[in-house]
Amino acid sequence: MLINCVVYQNGSKLADIAIEEISDYLARPDCFVWVALQDATAQELETMRREFDLHELAVEDARHGHQRPKIEEYGDSLFVVMHLVEPVGDELNVGELDVFVGTNYVLSVRNRSSQGFLGVRERGERQPQLLRHGAGFVLYALMDAVVDRYFPIIDALESELEAIEERIFTRGTARANIESLYDLKRRVGVLRHAVAPLLEAAGKLHGGRVPPMCASTQDYFRDVIDHLARIHGSIESIRDTAATAIHVNLSMVAIEESEVTKRLAAWAGIFAVATAFAGIWGMNFEHMPELRWEWGYPAALLLIASVCAVLFWRFRRAGWL
């Protein structure tokens, strides 16, 4: 679905144009065309391929989707894949933004995501001195918008981890904490798969040899790389802390199980004494003087109770009960 198709000249918006007019404006000096599509069909992508002379391999990747974040060069053009990560309930939905960039055009294709970029276009149009940099600045603006949307997710994950850490040593919560931590690590992994490859690929846009359309915007891309590095560092910190918390919680589970075992052993020891005395006096021997003693039964009960009381006191003092 076409979102918008706009031509710019010297950084200022010239006109909204029809797709059929794209090739006419591409031939004009100081002009570039910025087209945005959402959930594009195969026919729409084929039309864009003909209008912009896109590389067929890049178009095929965009058509199939579910690509790893990357930046690929095809002659004088770039094909950029970024993941759009957004929270949906307790899960993270992963969409995709495919961006085709040439010296005088930008084509962005958004898939499986409700995150729009109209605000990016509006901010750019308010700053024609920046849009004058052309397609390279538009690519920077799109990348910056995608990366900035990762920060609230990182903040939410860090807050969730802190909440789990606060109840780590609360009795009876270890198993629930482990489940929460594994779920947290899974979502962190989703974000990591979006950030780490993009951080590695973004190095192509700053320093050394860079694509010609990005030559005048290297400093802007350095800012994006810095943001990606910060996010990646936070992700690794969360992963390490979560792994440590899981080990601590597993230890807490073992400690709780040990406490239960100690209590069971203590009560078993106490009842074993009573069972032993009862077993002795329950033997069917004729000559057992206690059986004919008037106070034999009360004395036996008193002895059993006394020994059990002493054992209970000793176990309680040792912390087993």
More confident residue, 108 or 274: 108
Residue 275 in any domain: the answer is yes
Q: Which of 131, 149, 177 is the last residue of a domain?
A: 131
Q: DSSP readout, 115-141?
A: ---HHHHHHHHT-HHHHTTTHHHHHHH
Show contacts of 40-45: CB within 8 Å, 24+ apart: 40/1, 40/109, 40/111, 44/1, 44/2, 45/109
> What's the structural domain count of the chain?
2
Residue 96 in any domain: the answer is yes
More confident residue, 279 or 20: 20
Mean pLDDT in residue range 265-293: 68
Residue 11 in any domain: the answer is yes
Residue 46 in any domain: the answer is yes
Residue 85 in any domain: the answer is yes
Full-model pTM: 0.81
For position 101, what pLDDT does the model report?
96
* Cα–Cα dist 289/141, whole Å: 100
Q: Which of 113, 131, 149 is the last residue of a domain?
A: 131
Query: What is the CATH number for 304?
Result: 1.20.58.340
For position 182, what pLDDT does the model report?
93
Q: Which of 106, 131, 156 is the last residue of a domain?
A: 131
Model confidence band, residue 224 (pLDDT cutoffs 50, 70, 90):
very high
Residues listed for the chain: 321
For position 291, what pLDDT does the model report?
62
pLDDT higher than 80, residue 239: yes
Residue 186 in any domain: the answer is no
Query: What is the CATH number for 72?
Result: 3.30.460.20
Q: Give me the domain span that covers residue 275.
A: 256-318
Residue 148 in any domain: the answer is no
Nearest-5° Cα angle at 308, 303 to 314: 130
Model confidence band, residue 216 (pLDDT cutoffs 50, 70, 90):
confident
Residue 19 in any domain: the answer is yes
